[in-house]
């Protein structure tokens, strides 16, 4: 399985990821990106289905600050 998480400390609210993968990434009140798929609330604990991996990878590649991370294990972040 694949999991994803956004590091809001480095996100500059550029808005690219939500445009590329709107089912996975959305923005908080400050415009910073977060993982919303499956109600994840940017904990990085929700497995992303295989048919969404291409969008996820495109968003990761397109982030100018490398704030989107992807791993095979859950991140278990606070948000
Ligand atoms: Fe932030 Fe990168 Fe998305 S800067 S808004 S995580 S593309």
Give SS3 for 32: coil
- Written as six digits, the tokens of 5 are 């998480």
Cα 27 to Cα 47: distance, rounded to the nearest angstrom: 19
Asked whether residue 79 carries a pLDDT value surpassing 90, the answer given is no
* Residue 13 alpha carbon to ligand 1 centre in Å: 5
- Give the mutation target among 9, 17, 59 for probing the ligand 1 site: most ligand atoms within 8 A of CB: 17
**pTM score of the predicted model:** 0.96
Which tens digit of pLDDT belongs to each residue from 38-49? Answer: 999 999 999 999
Which tens digit of pLDDT belongs to each residue from 3-26? Answer: 999 999 999 999 999 999 999 999
Pocket of ligand 1 (CB under 6 A): 6, 11-17, 33, 63-65, 67-68
């Amino acid at each position: 399985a694949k999991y994803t998480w956004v590091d809001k400390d480095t996100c500059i609210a550029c808005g690219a990821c939500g445009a590329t993968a709107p089912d996975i990434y959305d923005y908080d009140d400050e415009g910073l990106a977060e993982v919303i798929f499956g109600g994840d609330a940017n904990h990085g604990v929700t497995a992303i289905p295989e048919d969404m991996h291409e969008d996820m990878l495109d968003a990761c590649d397109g982030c100018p600050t490398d704030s989107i991370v992807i791993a095979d294990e859950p991140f278990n972040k606070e948000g």
